[in-house]
Structure 1
């Protein structure tokens, strides 16, 4: 794949920022078509679909942030000269072509494309049908920006395929694909894994857990739980499950206070059989599958555990491997918890809502990876490259 110099890439991004800003009404009109056609039975999906002036400002800002980041391609990782005289240099290199499959969010059409392009990758955008008009106009904007800088439009391409056509494309791509990133629910991820013929990097479900240790500061605990649960229910970093140590002082009183605070924020509470003994008016969890579920709603599950090791075991069994938190005043307990939890991000006395490229200093993100290869956590610009070895000899042969 041809390498584009950083100045030209940045010129494209500057053009795109101008085009979006000048064509706000066109984008808002396209988004209105999507919103009008959407059945509002899924509030989280609807929230993700909305484009307004504030969201457009965020899109422009995301492009600006990536534009200001250093080009990640052809950066030296290591250099060595062997005893036999061979010089070996390892440098970053583009993946090639990335395909992203996502639901609802038009802003992904901006963030995925800007990151892939700046990292010198082509990108195939397969958005959900619910955001068709929004995505269509945004890709047109991208093509206008590319043409304005004398580049081919195939750097950024929108795939208009139904489910059956997508399945066929994944099994037998009509063009080379080096990496697929499914960004959505469990069913989407499973569909891609079952049908893809190349590497898949999973942006997994949230289903994030928070463990309240027996020495937790209760004021901090309430503030963190409310923020993690209610700040943005459609976020994959939202909180779904709370595990409370049964040996926390004033256990019953604190459970009742937590219930009051959550209900005041209009959060629906379900509980395990142990918590039900104290919170008798709440609904009891009757199906183990609930512990695996990502809610994406104003809903939370509360359970009781005997100790931290039980909490760790339960989290590692049921969570999506995205974000997990502990509330404790002990740095030693926090360290034990964080080292033994198998999640992309682990927190001590902080909301899971910080698992986000912008919040973590990464900038715009393609997704939050819950895989372990080749990267885990926010996939920012620096994570959208692979590597290549450059070996320099002088007639060397291996003997």
Structure 2
């Protein structure tokens, strides 16, 4: 077991990593180009996540620099109690120990997620996808250089170059102690990890996010929010489903405007029976499509009778990630926000803000759609467990 590094040491490694990322910027981009050229898959969102350009390197540098400036999440007092017998009791945050991050296609995870886990006092095991192997190995090499230059063991960051069979074997019978697993990727990856893991897993689940245009909506705001929801189709906070209140004034005109704007951005628009008939759109063949996360240039629009029906529909079909109501009626917004069962609920704002950086956490390890032990973006301060510290002078019970 690695002894907890001082906060000064952890911060020094993070700042060194920022310097190395800047120094090796062109090398990282060149190596990533090889990964991109070798990518033969047809998944556009996967390709988008795989790509490293100057802006992505800037984000990596910003992530580790910001992490170095944040307070230490370890050893934070959460509770204290003075026992009748004089014992002093504290509950403080503690690191998990070893965190395994399994992810697809995103070399920036090798920086940001590893940085968050390292800052919170954990040893990191990284298992990236084969499509980003060269990019990941280059970044891990920089982690090792940063650790060495700060006279710290390179054991703190380890890359597991496993195929699927080896990964399954490691999940079922780890060859070293693993305290927490965070899978970041599609539903197949998450199901695979859940099936085989023998330790706690934080689920970064599917998106399939909904926007509800209430009958008292500001229609300009509604259009802006829906269009913004499709501005990055590979993001888990993208919008896939739009529900329009049956009693919305100028409903037909609004849907027409929305559809033409979406089509101008080459987004395929599907409709339920009512919306498709009124706007000559392709009709969905089955209600099962309401469950689907698209991760594509595709959106589904349906008509709904009321806020209550919307809440029931979202709670049935969504991925438990994000949902938004567009309305000028505060009471209706409150009803929606309190009863929709998603990790983030919005009133007159875009679901694209479900992100650790945007919600004030600096960055995120994942966006959890589980309710234990943290829901929504998992920031630095959430990647900890806790521990009881009891100080006595001979007390017995």
Q: Normalised by the shorter chain, which TM-score bucket?
A: over 0.9
Following superposition, the deviation at residue 40 of structure 1 comes to 5.2
CA distance in 1, matches of 2:242, 2:157: 41
Q: Secondary structure in 2 aligned to 1:289?
A: helix
Number of the residue aligned with 2:225: 224
Number of the residue aligned with 1:361: 360
CA distance in 2, matches of 1:66, 1:14: 9
Q: Secondary structure in 2 aligned to 1:311?
A: helix
Following superposition, the deviation at residue 127 of structure 1 comes to 0.8
Structure 1 residue 141 and structure 2 residue 142: aligned? yes
Q: Deviations over 1:92-136 (max 9, x none)?
A: 100111111111110000011111111110111111111110001
Number of the residue aligned with 1:243: 243
**Unmatched tracts of structure 1, length 5 or more:** none
Q: Deviations over 1:231-277 (max 9, x none)?
A: 21111100000011111112222211211111112110011112122
CA distance in 1, matches of 2:273, 2:165: 43
Number of the residue aligned with 1:331: 330
For the 8 Å contact 1:256–1:279, the answer to whether it is kept is yes
Number of the residue aligned with 1:162: 163
CA distance in 1, matches of 2:40, 2:220: 39
Following superposition, the deviation at residue 39 of structure 1 comes to 2.1
Following superposition, the deviation at residue 393 of structure 1 comes to 2.0
TM-score, normalising length from structure 2? 0.98
Q: How does 1:154-233 map to 2 (within 5 A)?
A: 154-229=155-230, 231-233=231-233
Number of the residue aligned with 2:278: 278
Aligned residue pairs, count: 396
CA distance in 1, matches of 2:201, 2:62: 29
Q: How does 1:233-312 map to 2 (within 5 A)?
A: 233-280=233-280, 282-312=281-311
CA distance in 2, matches of 1:292, 1:39: 28
Q: Secondary structure in 1 aligned to 2:5?
A: coil
Q: Secondary structure in 2 aligned to 1:78?
A: strand
Q: Secondary structure in 2 aligned to 1:214?
A: coil
Number of the residue aligned with 1:117: 118
Q: Deviations over 1:170-225 (max 9, x none)?
A: 00000011111111111111111100000011001111011111110111100110
Number of the residue aligned with 1:58: 59
Cα RMSD between the aligned structures?
1.0
The list of structure 1 runs, each at least 4 consecutive aligned residues, that deviate by more than 6 angstroms after superposition, is: none
CA distance in 2, matches of 1:241, 1:59: 31
TM-score, normalising length from structure 1? 0.98
Q: Deviations over 1:286-332 (max 9, x none)?
A: 12221111111110001111111111111011111010000000111
Higher mean displacement: 252-261 or 102-111: 252-261
